[in-house]
Every structure is written in structure tokens, then in C-alpha cells.
Structure 1
Amino acid sequence: MSTIACDTPSQPTRDTPSALDETVWRAICETAAAQATKGCGLSHDYYVERFSSAIDAQVARLPEAQHEQALQIAQEWDYATPTERQDTQDWNAENGYCSHGIEQGYCPAGCDSDY
């Protein structure tokens, strides 16, 4: 595994009382990504939804001052904001794709059962 050099300390200092522990946060992101992958059925849109929702829940547990940095790091695993996820869902619905991002008629979850 490669090491990423960064200027941000992983432990709090006097100047940054609530610095994000990047090593721990990256491990959280990796775990969330692995779990999202296992349940996404190879749909990227559904992976993004699952991963991003898990990250939102974890970010809510962090101090406010760490949110921006945590979400920026999560983008390495394709984190999308709630607005971006809604935009994707809207586009899918308008263009014949189910909520999992799969073309109607092909979703193994049966999303097209109305047809």
C-alpha cells in the first residue's frame, strides 16, 4: 500500500484543535466502499448511493470543522453529495433508468415490474 504525504497533521495540534485523523478516515472510507461494493450489483449509481449515504452517516459523527476535509477525501471513492445523488436519480427517472442506474427492463431487482 502506498503512503500519501500530506501537510495536514493527523493528530490535533494547538493551532488545529480538531484535525481530522486522515489514516483513520481513509480506513472508514475503504470499509464503506467495500460494503457498498458488495451490495451494489455492479451498478455504479447504486454503489455511489450506498457509499455516499454511509459516509454521510460517518461525517455526521465528526466535529463540524472536519466535515469539508472528510468529504474531500471521500471523493477518492466517488462520494457524491445528496444534491448530486438526487440529480442522478432525477436524470435516471427521466431517461428510462431505475433507481439503481440500470436501464428499465434489465434491473435484477425487478424495478421494471410495472412494464
Structure 2
Amino acid sequence: MSTIACDEPRSALDESAWRALCEAAAAQAMKGCGLSHDYYVECFSSAIDAQVDRLPDDQRAQALQIAQEWDYATSAERQETQDWNAENGYCSHGISLGCCPAGCGSY
């Protein structure tokens, strides 16, 4: 996945470059999620978190708002999902225990 170069401060987010990065991150997350939406959100959001840290502080809110178009979730939101899954018989991928192709909760 490409990164957005931020060596020189800019006054505005390069939205087209950020959207391209989001598209690439979403495509990569989709390839590895096994059709689990929870796992897709985890993979996509983690990739976005890594990239948004490279942006100037004044551009991060706008970048994260754009990323929500691809179902970006904050780390707190992702933790809430993980907690709910654990309390309700789902693995970290959002799949019923014993049914996950990754072997989560296999008996």
C-alpha cells in the first residue's frame, strides 16, 4: 500500500490521494477478511490508523471522516465490538465460535 508523503506541511488534506489510499486499504482488507465484516473493519481501520499518524494534526479529523465511507472504526469502537463478540459467543473475527475458518474456538 502506498503512503501519503507529508514531509512538507500543507494547509489542506490532499483528498484525492487520501481517497486512493483508503481504496487501496479497503481492497487489501477485503482480500484478507474472509467475508467477515468485523475483521474487515479491524484490518481496514488498523491500516488507516497507521497512515493517519503520518498526517499533520490539523488534517487527521478530515482524513478519518473520509475513511468512514469505507467503515473506518476508532480503536475504542473496535474494542467495543471485540468485547461484544467475546460476551456473545463470537471470535475476534466476528464469527460464531467453532465455525471460524481460522480455527478460533475450535473444539
Q: Partner of 1:110 in structure 2? A: 103
Q: Partner of 1:70 in structure 2? A: 63
- Displacement of 1:105 after TM fit? 1.4
- Displacement of 1:18 after TM fit? 2.1
1:81 aligns to 2:74 (yes or no): yes
* Corresponding residue SS for 2:30: helix
C-alpha separation in 1, matches of 2:57 and 2:11: 9
- Percent same amino acid among aligned pairs? 81
Q: Partner of 1:19 in structure 2? A: 12
1:28 aligns to 2:21 (yes or no): yes
Q: Which runs of 5+ in 2 are unaligned?
A: 1-9
C-alpha separation in 1, matches of 2:13 and 2:50: 16
Higher RCO (CA-CA < 8 Å; seq separation 6+): 2
Check the 8 A contact 1:18/1:63 in 2, yes or no: no
Q: RMSD of the alignment, in Å?
A: 0.7
Check the 8 A contact 1:29/1:77 in 2, yes or no: yes
TM-score (normalised: structure 1): 0.84
- Displacement of 1:49 after TM fit? 0.1
TM-score (normalised: structure 2): 0.90
C-alpha separation in 1, matches of 2:45 and 2:58: 19
Q: After TM superposition, which residue ranges in structure 1, 4 or more long, deviate above 3 angstroms?
A: none
Q: Partner of 1:11 in structure 2? A: none
Which of 49, 62, 67 is the matching residue for 1:56? Answer: 49
Q: Which runs of 5+ in 1 are unaligned?
A: 1-16
Which of 11, 33, 44 is the matching residue for 2:37? Answer: 44
The number of aligned residues is 98
